[in-house]
């Protein structure tokens, strides 16, 4: 692969220009031109454009030229290391709340951007791609790197969250029993008595025509257990008992939840 400096020197010689003449025509300094040819300075896209215009050649003549690795390689390495450090921190971060989860997901996106940027700087530091196809190809590869990085981190995050936040059906049912019991007491306070057996728990959601009703006291989901069975209740004096018939759907068996 021909280096950018060698290609530039070749084109300048063919054009019959000295370093000073090319510098004057391109609006750059002679020191910059010398640096580009020796490979001690990494040219910018603006410099490429000015040099190509001064030499009266299309920008595409520099396509595939090898560039010095100096600054861009260091930037690429720095970005990659930063992304790796942040990824390591994310993998060990303890997600205990929704706010923590959103923070981790935001950091995942930043990490994806860092790795994608590291790839772009590395490619720019190796060769100059001016053709439309080459730019599309690099854009697709950059997008793939970003997507794969963020996707892997999100998968890990989701796995950890599922492991830490997984709630058993029994726990959910017990929570609904507590909510329904509280709704029954609120109903009795407002209406003067608990719902009758005929009215059922539906009286907590829809007004049964009782004076003082201020519901709904619960939602439809809160009066059913994790297996789709409606909760049962029994009034004993001034107290009310609420339970679930459990996974088997039969009342009075060992899997009832109270």
Task: Give the contacts of 159 (CB within 8 A, at least 6 positions apart).
Answer: none
**Stretch 187-212: mean pLDDT:** 88
In the chain, where the domains are located: 4-62, 70-165, 169-243
Q: Is there a contact between 17 and 11 (Cβ–Cβ < 8 Å)?
A: no
Poorest-pLDDT segment among 72-76, 168-172, 196-200: 72-76
Q: Is the pTM of this model over 0.75?
A: no
DSSP H/E element including 6: helix 4-14
Considering the four listed CATH numbers 3.80.10.10, 1.10.260.40, 1.10.287.130, 3.40.50.720, the one that applies to the domain covering 4-62 is: 1.10.260.40
Burial 32-51 (b: 16+ CB within 10 A, else e): bbebbbebebbbeeebbebb
Which residues on neighbouring strands pair with residue 222, listed in sequence order? none
Per-residue model confidence (pLDDT) at position 165? 64
Q: Is there a contact between 150 and 111 (Cβ–Cβ < 8 Å)?
A: yes
Which of helix, strand or coil describes residue 94?
A: coil
Q: Write out pLDDT tens, residues 149-195.
A: 888 888 877 777 766 666 678 888 888 999 999 999 999 899 888 98
Which whole-number Å values give the CA distances from 146 to 58, 132, 138, 188, 214, in the listed order? 32, 21, 12, 58, 53
Q: Is the pLDDT of residue 91 over 70?
A: yes
**Stretch 85-96: mean pLDDT:** 77
Q: Write out pLDDT tens, residues 124-154.
A: 555 454 455 666 777 788 788 888 888 888 8
């Amino acid at each position: 692969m021909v280096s950018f400096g060698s290609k530039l020197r070749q084109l300048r010689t063919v054009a019959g220009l000295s370093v000073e003449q090319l510098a004057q025509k391109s609006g750059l300094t002679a020191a910059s031109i010398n640096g580009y040819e020796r490979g001690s300075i990494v040219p910018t896209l603006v410099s490429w454009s000015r040099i190509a215009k001064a030499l009266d050649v299309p920008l595409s003549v520099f396509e595939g030229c090898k560039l010095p690795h100096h600054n861009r390689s260091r930037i690429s390495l720095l970005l990659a290391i930063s992304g790796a450090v942040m990824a390591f921190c994310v993998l060990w971060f303890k997600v205990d709340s929704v706010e923590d989860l959103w923070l981790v997901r935001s950091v995942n996106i930043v990490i994806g951007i860092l790795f994608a940027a590291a790839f772009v700087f590395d490619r720019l530091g190796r060769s100059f791609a001016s053709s439309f196809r080459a730019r599309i190809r690099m854009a697709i590869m950059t997008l793939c790197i970003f997507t794969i990085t963020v996707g892997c981190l999100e998968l890990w995050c989701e796995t950890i969250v599922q492991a830490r936040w997984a709630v058993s059906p029994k726990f959910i049912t017990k929570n609904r029993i507590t909510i329904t019991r509280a709704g029954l007491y609120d109903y009795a306070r407002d209406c003067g008595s608990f719902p009758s057996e005929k009215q059922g728990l539906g009286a907590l959601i829809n007004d049964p025509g009782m004076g003082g009703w201020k519901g709904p006291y619960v939602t439809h989901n809160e009066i059913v257990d994790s297996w789709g069975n409606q909760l049962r209740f029994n009034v004993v004096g001034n107290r009310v008992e609420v339970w679930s018939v459990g996974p088997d759907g039969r009342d009075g068996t060992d899997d009832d939840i109270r």
